[in-house]
Amino acid sequence: MTVDWCDKCEEMMQPFLDGTLSDAQVAEAQRHLEQCNWCAKRYHFEERLRHYVRVAVTEPMPAELKAKLAALRTPLN
């Protein structure tokens, strides 16, 4: 049975980004990312997304933006 490295990379992506893989698994993932543009692009997207989420939760939301978002809410009846 052959291994679909892209499927395996997809399974390993979040643990790889979390830093929870073994050294052998990290090496395996890095080898695939060096050879596969698709997975490398996916990895970089996930990496950037995590960065933006971290930044978004640390920056305070301006009061005027909070007011605009509050005005868009639909009341539950």
Write down the pLDDT at residue 39. 93
Confidence band for 70, pLDDT divided at 50, 70 and 90:
confident
CA distance 51 to 45: 10
Write down the pLDDT at residue 72. 86
Domain 5-72, what architecture?
A: Orthogonal Bundle (1.10)
CA distance 43 to 72: 34
Q: Where are the alpha helices (DSSP H) in 1-77?
A: 5-18, 23-35, 37-58, 63-72
Provide the residue type at 67 as one letter.
A
Write down the pLDDT at residue 77. 63
Instruction: Scan for tokens 């868009």, then name that residue.
Output: 72
Domain ranges in the chain are: 5-72
Write down the pLDDT at residue 2. 56
Span 7-35, mean pLDDT?
91
